[in-house]
Amino acid sequence: MDAESRSPLDWKFAAAGFALLVVGVGVVTERPLLSLGAASLLLLALSLVYPFARFAGETNPREGRR
């Protein structure tokens, strides 16, 4: 999926969910540094997986959409 096909509301919900996850880790563990570490690892994992997820979601133009 390209960025143009997603609504701005999708990006807002994704950002809010990410922020709540980071804050939740900080609140549960009572360690702000751990929440920043969790956020960094999550962003790293997302940056490594996202290109492959985009590639796998593309269809072959010769086959058409299924």
How many distinct structural domains can be found in the chain?
1
Instruction: Give per-residue pLDDT as tens, 19-44.
Output: 888 888 888 888 888 888 888 888 88
Mean model confidence pLDDT for the chain:
76
Token pair of 17 as six digits: 């969910």
Is residue 2, in this structure, part of any structural domain at all?
A: no
Task: Tell whether 37 is covered by a domain.
Answer: yes
Query: Does 40 reside within a domain?
Result: yes
| pLDDT of res. 51 | 73
Q: In this predicted structure, what is the pLDDT of residue 45? A: 86
Tokens of 28: 């549960």
Six token digits for residue 65: 């959409």
pLDDT in tens, 2-18: 555 667 777 788 888 88
Is there a domain that residue 52 lies in? yes
The yes-or-no verdict on residue 57 having pLDDT over 70 is no
